[in-house]
Amino acid sequence: ELKDYAEKILGMEIKGIPVKKVLVSEAVSIVSEAYLGIINDRTTKKTVMMACKEGGVEIEEIAKQRPEAIYKVYADPLVGLMSHKAREIGLFLYKEPKRAFECASITERLYKLFIELDS
């Protein structure tokens, strides 16, 4: 049955792009999810990191209906993302200190990658 579904998916086009590979893995229960995004804000001319405890699937809807659910941290382009700001994001998303600091580390690496690839 799985093989039949995979073959059907492989023959599809999604938004004009042909599906070339299918990843199949064991189903897992999701305990929680979080969203972390980064964009350049044209208004402030700064990079903004956005975090949401509710995940990112409906992030645009959340932004419209409950903007307070999205935590934003601005990074000055001359200074970059300060470590304490990355920790703020981690602590916003996770109460457990270990997870919060892991998130802060990921946040700092995401910022560096964004700057390297966006310039």
Q: Residue 104 falls within a domain, yes or no?
A: yes
Give the SS3 label for residue 115.
helix
| Edge-to-edge order in the sheet of strand 70-75 | 35-41, 46-52, 70-75
Residue 71, in any domain of the structure: yes
Mean pLDDT (the chain, rounded)? 91
Give the pLDDT of residue 6.
Answer: 86
Asked if residue 40 is part of any domain, the answer here is: yes
Identity of residue 30:
I
**Residue numbers in the chain where pLDDT is lower than 70:** 119
Number of domains in the chain: 1
CATH of the domain at 109: 3.30.470.20
Judge whether 105 lies within some domain. yes
Instruction: Compute CA distances 40 → 37, 54, 67, 75, whole Å.
Output: 11, 22, 18, 10
pLDDT for residue 69: 95
Is 5 among the domain residues?
A: no
Q: Which domain holds residue 103?
A: 32-118
Q: Is residue 22 part of a domain?
A: no
